[in-house]
Amino acid sequence: MTEFTLFRHTPGIDPTLHIWGWEIPVYLFLGGLVAGLMILAGARLLIMRPHERQAMVCCTIGPLAGLALLSLGMLALFLDLSHKLYVWRLYLIFEPTSPMSWGSWILLLVYPALLANALTHLPETIPALAKRAPMLVTISDYILARPRLVVAIGLANITLGIALGIYTGILLGTLGARPLWSSAVLGPLFLFSGLSTAAALLHGILVFTTPDAERPEFADFLLSLLARWSQARPLDTRIAPTLAQADNSFLTIELALLGLLLIGHLSSTAVHQQAAWLLLTGPYAAVFWIGVIGLGILLPLFLQHLELQHRIRHTLAPSLLVLTGGLVLRFVLVNAGQASHWAAMLN
């Protein structure tokens, strides 16, 4: 028997769960999503043929959404800082042992790469914007006239996307004081979760904007306004099955990586085993099994399988489930990770 008494009673320190609130899971989710968008956009840019240029959902809408989502994520990250006025200090130094330092420099490179990818085909996707700002056409023509530059932009997006996606996992994985996070699997797990959410977002955009889709009246009205303003042609939906297929592959890999994470912990030290049980049967089990595994991975896998078999039509449901599952995964892992602790060995 061991009795453990701690005379601290300091709300600033205890419970330790309060180190990071909602801001960090939201940032990790959006960071992963943007990483996935970059990889898909970069890959699409590399393999696109001239006659396919209507399939702009990956190459223009993806990077544009990425820019907006990354800015939202950065805002969440900024809100989490408790010494906000000193944020510029991040860019006075590079600390090679700090994943957060790597991340801050990677984020600085991500913006121009996303912007370059978006600008490559922007005039074709949103003609009205090109008419108002002819410079966009000049930039697009300049890039498209140089195939090597297009390849460089595509490769930069893929490389930075992988770095960003893995970094969001490594950020937690290097904090060895929290046993649940202490795993190299977190990097690839967050990368593939990011890829699955990105494919789901693009698939969702395609399904939602299809002319014959069933939508609420206000959404129809807003879309018609947007189409009139942008003078854009409807998005090419031929890529929808490819995105659903890719999403299913990413979800399968994500499921396997989650299994590896748990197996790794269960075959490790007592504190790591305790950390794994937090998810398997502990206070986070209900959200983990229902929110992440059931609704976030297995159900969309099944629905998208039926869509690909042409048994049901493509709907928004799998996309919404995958996106929600990705967000819940970050919340569960960040909160359960903070609840797992080496101090369990002291008592």
Partner 1 sequence: MSRYIMVIDTKRCVGCMDCVVACKTENHVPEGFTRDWITETVHGRFPTTNLEIRTERCNHCANPPCVHCCPTGASHVHARGGVVLVTPEKCIGCKACLAACPYDARFVHPKGYADKCTFCIHRVENGLDPACVSVCPTRCMHFGDADDPQSGVSRLLAARPHHPLLPEAGTQPRIYYLT
Give the binding site for partner 1 (CB under 8 A): 1-8, 10-14, 16, 19-20, 80-84, 86-87, 89-90, 92-93, 95, 97-101, 103-104, 171, 174-178, 269, 338, 341-343, 345-347
CB of 265 to partner 1, least distance (A): 15
Select 54 or 273, whichever has its Cβ closest to partner 1: 273
Distance CA 291, CA 328 (A): 7
How far from the centroid of its chain's Cα atoms is residue 268's Cα? 29
Select 312 or 345, whichever has its Cβ closest to partner 1: 345
Select 21 or 264, whichever has its Cβ closest to partner 1: 21
CB of 73 to partner 1, least distance (A): 14
Select 101 or 159, whichever has its Cβ closest to partner 1: 101
CB of 29 to partner 1, least distance (A): 18
Query: In terms of Cα–Cα distance, which of 103, 135, 100 is closest to 119?
Result: 135
Select 129 or 339, whichever has its Cβ closest to partner 1: 339
Query: In terms of Cα–Cα distance, which of 235, 252, 247 is closest to 199?
Result: 247
**64, 175 in Cβ contact below 8 A?**
no
CB of 4 to partner 1, least distance (A): 5
CB of 258 to partner 1, least distance (A): 21
CB of 337 to partner 1, least distance (A): 8
CA contacts within 13 A on the Cβ side of 321:
23
Q: What is the DSSP letter of 97?
A: T
H-helix or E-strand spanning residue 262: helix 240-266
CB of 236 to partner 1, least distance (A): 42
Distance CA 86, CA 246 (A): 41
H-helix or E-strand spanning residue 254: helix 240-266
Distance CA 190, CA 173 (A): 11
Distance CA 220, CA 226 (A): 10
Tracing tokens 């009795």 back to the chain, one arrives at 3
Q: What is the DSSP letter of 183?
A: -
Select 326 or 337, whichever has its Cβ closest to partner 1: 337
CB of 39 to partner 1, least distance (A): 25
Helix runs in 121-146, H state only: 122-125, 127-132, 134-144
Distance CA 121, CA 143 (A): 9
Q: Residue 134: how many CB atoms within 10 A of its CB? A: 10
Select 209 or 274, whichever has its Cβ closest to partner 1: 274
CB of 68 to partner 1, least distance (A): 23
Select 4 or 218, whichever has its Cβ closest to partner 1: 4
Q: How far apart are the first and last CA of the chain?
A: 9
DSSP reduced 3-state for 96? coil
List of residues 6+ apart from 130 with CB closer than 8 A:
122, 123, 136, 137, 140
Select 84 or 311, whichever has its Cβ closest to partner 1: 84
